[in-house]
Every structure is written in C-alpha cells, then in structure tokens.
Amino acid sequence: MTDQEIVKEIRAAFEREPRVHVHRNHIRMNFTGSALVIEGEVDDIAAKKLALELAGEFAPNTEDRLRLTPASPVADGALRDAVIVAMTEEPTLKNCTIRVWIKGKEEIVRDTQPESGGAIHVFIEDGIVTLEGQVLSLSHKRLAGVLAWWAPGCRDVVNRLAVAPPEEDSDAEISDAVRLVLEKDPLLPAEQISVKTEDRVVTLEGLVFREQERKQADADTWYVHRVRNVINHIEVRQ
C-alpha cells in the first residue's frame, strides 16, 4: 500500500474503535521517511494507547507524538513540583535518589548514598514528563510512570527507566503492577477489584460503589507501562 492508503486504513480502524473518539479528538498522521508520525491531542490515555496500537498494525515503525489534553493548563514548574512530591512521598521509592533538571541544570531533590534503590531523573517540558535512570524492578518502573501520569497537567509520560538487575517482563508482572497501582489510588476500593492479564490485555472485574470509581480503575490501568488494552467488567453496586 502507498502511504496515503495506509493512513486511510488507519483512519478507518479509528472509526471502528469508539474509545478513540475520532470525531472528538484531533489526530494527525504523516510519513517521514519510513516512519509514521502520529500526533495531536486526545482526551484520555485509552484513546492515546489504542490509537497507537491500531496504527502500529499497519505501520510498525510509528513515532508517538500524541498528547493528552489536560483538564486545565498547568505550568511546567507546577507540574514538576507535583511529580517530585509524588515521588518523594511514595514509600516504595524511599531509597531512590531523585534528580530533576530545571533549565538544563541538575537539582538533587533526594540523595541516597549509595543509590541502593536506584535513581530517577525527571525532565519536564511542555507538560511532557520524561523519566530516566534506573530502578530495582519493573514494578518500581511502572509505579513511577503512573505517579507522573497522575500529576495534574501531565500531557504525556516517556518512561525510559532501566531496571537493574534486568527482569523478564510477563503478564504476571503487569498484573502485579496494576494491583499495586490500584492499591495506591486513595479513591478506589482496590480490594474489591480483581486483575488478570493475557498478552498485555488486562481484564478488571469486581464491584464498586460509584461509576466514577469504575472509570478511575480503568484509567489507572491504562496508565501502566506496556498495557495495550483494558477490558473493564467492573460492576457498579446499585
């Protein structure tokens, strides 16, 4: 297929997936050499990940420039402060060194000697949070990414954290991370939600008290690194 035909097929796939909200979101696509660049703003994390997943079926070499539209604009400084507070107050990351870059200069927020829990380097530009450095486990990497996503004003998270020593990823690892994230969300009755993962597709089941809790559990799961789809069977108790 030509580049134009590929883009046409992808747009047709977007039309068939209601969670992409193709008529509400603003997604642009064009080829730069052999890479498909997909950019624009979308309402939520599910729309972003599904759009990338669908595009990747037709164009495996895809460059992600999709950003979330924040509920209200937040300056990078305020976003940075929120991310740092979340990182430093999270008990799981208490042994991590935290460094942040402000106008190209490094600022050490917390220094552990030695860096027994790893080190997280935080870069923020135009609402995009980039995490670099290394942590002790895949669960640490995924939790750090979700904490960044939760910060008000975050438009995207680029999670480049390495894991040392390396761990083999698996569906079980993803399920463990999703459970951890749901437990960390104070707005959710996490003990009432079950999680299972197959081929990076997460299925949620259980009972909650409000529709907002059902939606929140869905969004939290999408935020987890490498989750490619979420099937939400959570019921709302009447």
Residues 134 and 183 in one domain: no
116 CB burial (10 A radius; 0-12, 13-18, 19+): exposed
> In the prediction, which pLDDT does 103 show?
85
> In the prediction, which pLDDT does 71 show?
83
- Three-state SS annotation for the chain: CCHHHHHHHHHHHHHHCHHHCCCCCEEEEEEECCEEEEEEEECCHHHHHHHHHHHHHHCCCEEEEEEECCCCCCCHHHHHHHHHHHHHHCHHHCCCEEEEEECCEEEEEECCCCCCCCEEEEEEECCEEEEEEEECCHHHHHHHHHHHHHCCCCCEEEECCEECCCCCCCHHHHHHHHHHHHHHCCCCCHHHEEEEEECCEEEEEEEECCHHHHHHHHHHHHHCCCCCEEEEEEEECC
Residue type, 37: V
> In the prediction, which pLDDT does 112 show?
86
Kindly state the tokens that stand for 35: 């890479």
Of 138, 163, 188, the position where a domain reaches its end is 163
Q: How many domains does the chain have?
A: 3
Quote the domain boundaries for residue 203. Answer: 171-236
Residues 87 and 149 in one domain: yes
What's the pLDDT tens digit per position in 164-212?
Answer: 999 999 999 999 999 999 999 999 999 999 999 999 999 999 999 999 9
Residues 195 and 157 in one domain: no
> In the prediction, which pLDDT does 67 show?
96
> In the prediction, which pLDDT does 101 show?
92
Average pLDDT, the chain: 95
CATH number of the domain within which 33 lies: 3.30.1340
CATH number of the domain within which 181 lies: 3.30.1340.30
Ranges of the chain whose pLDDT falls below 50: none
Residues 190 and 215 in one domain: yes
